[in-house]
Chains A and B, each alone.
Chain A
Amino acid sequence: MTVTIASFRKEAATAVGDAHLQVALETATGHFRDGRSEALAELPDAEALRDHLKAVRAATIARLADHLETFERNAIAAGAHVHWARDAAEAAHTVTELARARGVRLATKSKSMATEEIHLNQALRAAGVEPVETDLGEWIIQLAEEPPYHIIAPAIHKTRDQVAALFAAETGAPPADDDIATLTAIARRELRQRFLNAGMGISGGNLAVAETGSIVLVTNEGNGRMVTSLPPLHVAVIGIEKVAPTWDDAAAWLSLLARSATGQPLSIYTTVITGPAQEGDVDGPAEVHIILLDNGRSRLLGTEYEEVLQCIRCGACLNICPVYREAGGHAYGSPYSGPIGAVVSPLLFGLENYPALPHASTLCGACQDVCPVRIDLPRMLLALRAEEVSHGLASPAETVMEKGAAFILAHERLLRWGRRLLALGQLPLVAGRQLQLPPNLNPAQERRLPALAPRSFHEIWPELEDEDV
């Protein structure tokens, strides 16, 4: 799939035209924005803590190999198996092989963007394993056969009626009513059986702590605990950049993660997994496997994009972004949407596959303002745009226009005459000093563009200069 400017515009226009969806997007992102502001305001040293976490993340990424080796050593000492995957296929293959070797037919999953990234569910199905998403939002979009709409709230675009219909189709019985408590109770009942019957639990990892070889999972529903406690086998897939060297670093990370994401001081459940059940344990998986996923991340080290590896995936940049808030998550065509997705998707999955995303931004900088580790996303969006031009990925029409504009702007006389010509040429389109754009350029007639003035600022400047200002 390629996300072109045309395909982005088409998806975004659908979202903008859907009044219900616009309300849902604004309610959800507004709720998260307010929550974040309040949570950070309650923390006396929030700004200093953000700077501290940024310094921790930057230092960790710079020496990533050392920290990964420490993590691996301690995880193995705790009895876990550690696998390394260069790309999506290798990671998915590792998981399906683990399932196949143990005859697993049913796998329960805790929400994980890394497994979305490697298309694990398709790979599992192809290997004869039924994957069941257990985060309520993820289960809803799995039933709807759609990608997640938001990094932390995958089904914000679905209404309760739609959810009720999906549950009816899945369970064969329509819900008693479309009360949200009723729908939630259905999910609890249906998924509880899956948790108990699954041969394998699959999770991502919000972070990995090198000091103890632990994987940390953050959930509000408790599905992360189920998936890592009930099946005999637990497999965690985690990006190589998500290491915290020490528990103190992990504490700083966790202090800002939920606050930035939902405005909670901590999520309801922070689960720390350090190896499989030990001799004498009364429950827990017999085997824990951790897959360290590269998939394009190591290529970014030492480049102008290295900073993006500091991301802790809180989603704050989505909630603030004026483009995401209107266009919605699906336009981005990637599990990672919003400003972070606009940078990460082209970098991990190829700029040629996501040529539209560096342009899906107003460069207003709000994403950097709210980022817990202050990642300079606007800078990287510009760098990606420059790369498109230098790699010949920009459209021919755009290239011609930009070269033309550059030439004209460099020649004052051309600019002056060109402007005069345009001022005359626009006349048939001008009404009340506004330019009436043709419908194909302004489908909803919501854009207001002032007409070119009869004389340019440059032309009237000498007269202004004479005035006594």
Chain B
Amino acid sequence: MSEARAQILERLRARQADATDPGAWTTRRDFPDLVSRFSTALEAARGEVFIEDDLAAAVVRLERLLHNLGAQRVVANPEPPLDTLDLPVRFPDYAWHVAGENREALRQFCSEADAGLSSAQAALAETGTVIVDNADGRSRLVTLLPPVHIVLLPASRLTSDIFTWTAARSGPLPPNVTLISGPSKTADIEQTLAVGVHGPRRLSVIVYR
């Protein structure tokens, strides 16, 4: 194996040339209203966006969404603002699971859950993207396995685009970071759009100020 490594690198070194680093891309887009751009872009990709005045209103919206879904089993990531809401007490009609210690139970619950609840570490206005990662005990499966993914997003986490996001980032990354820009979709059969082939078929983002 290390023989392969040595040979490949040696061959590349023997043929390498000087190169000037082109530097970073510094042109920036200017969106007067990040929330409205986010909402337009995500809706264009068939995501759903609700804009609420504050967290209390966002929770009312969440309740209505879960109710209209006819959801029974709901799984949530252990993160703010969800962990401050005492969801199992507030909405006792649902069977709840909060991602935590037991990996097997989490996997099982996510496979059968009707909805997954998370926040997002950042969001990109340009492309209507929410960014979730698996640091601090957050699960990747909560945002992936259930047919519906609901995101509670503080408007303050919105940044302009992928360039402003990467520019603000530094240091090592957690094992998994995912940029989500809509519900799962495919056009692999006859170029006809179908949603929800593997990931959630519905992505609802509740943005609150």
Contact = CB atoms under 8 A, between A and B. Distances in A.
Given A31-B191, A160-B189, A265-B126, A280 B25 contact: no
Contact of A251 (B101, B162, B200): B162
A277 B134 CA distance: 9
Given A83-B1, A282-B137, A250 B166 contact: yes
A221 B199 contact: yes
A135 B25 contact: no
Given A84-B4, A282-B139, A283-B134, A58 B19 contact: yes
Interface size class of B (residues with CB under 8 A): 35 or more
A191 B20 CA distance: 46
B90 interface: no
A267 B183 CA distance: 11
B189 A44 contact: no
A271 B176 contact: yes
A283 B140 contact: yes
B188 A283 contact: no
Interface string B5-35: 1011101110111111110110101000000
A369 B7 CA distance: 36
B95 interface: no
B22 A59 contact: yes
B182 A268 contact: yes
A251 B166 contact: yes
Interface in A249-273: 250-252, 254-255, 264-273
A4 interface: no
A138 to B, nearest CB: 8
Contact of B139 (A187, A251, A283): A283
A130 B14 CA distance: 40
A302 B106 contact: no
A158 B188 CA distance: 9
Interface string A216-228: 0000111101101
A62 B192 contact: no
Contact of B179 (A159, A181, A269): A269
Given A55-B22, A65-B9, A84-B5, A44 B194 contact: no
A272 B177 contact: yes
A56 B22 contact: yes
A86 interface: yes
Given A56-B22, A90-B4, A214-B173, A221 B186 contact: yes
B127 A266 contact: yes
Contact of A274 (B124, B175, B196): B175
B208 to A, nearest CB: 24
Contact of A222 (B99, B187, B199): B199
B53 interface: no
B178 A271 contact: yes
B129 interface: yes
Interface string A197-230: 0000000000000001010000011110110111
B59 interface: no
Interface of A: 24, 27-28, 31, 44-45, 48-49, 52, 55-56, 58-60, 62-65, 68-69, 74, 77-79, 83-86, 90, 94, 134-137, 140, 153-156, 158-160, 163, 180-181, 183-184, 187-188, 191-192, 195-196, 212, 214, 220-223, 225-226, 228-230, 240, 246-248, 250-252, 254-255, 264-278, 280-284, 288, 292, 294, 298-299, 301-302
Given A63-B19, A248-B24, A282-B138, 6 more contacts: A84-B4, A159-B190, A212-B173, A255-B163, A266-B127, A282-B99
29 contacts: A24-B190, A31-B191, A62-B18, A64-B16, A78-B173, A78-B175, A84-B2, A86-B7, A135-B188, A155-B188, A181-B194, A183-B189, A221-B184, A221-B199, A222-B197, A225-B140, A226-B144, A247-B166, A248-B163, A248-B166, A267-B181, A268-B182, A268-B199, A274-B174, A275-B175, A280-B137, A288-B175, A301-B16, A302-B16
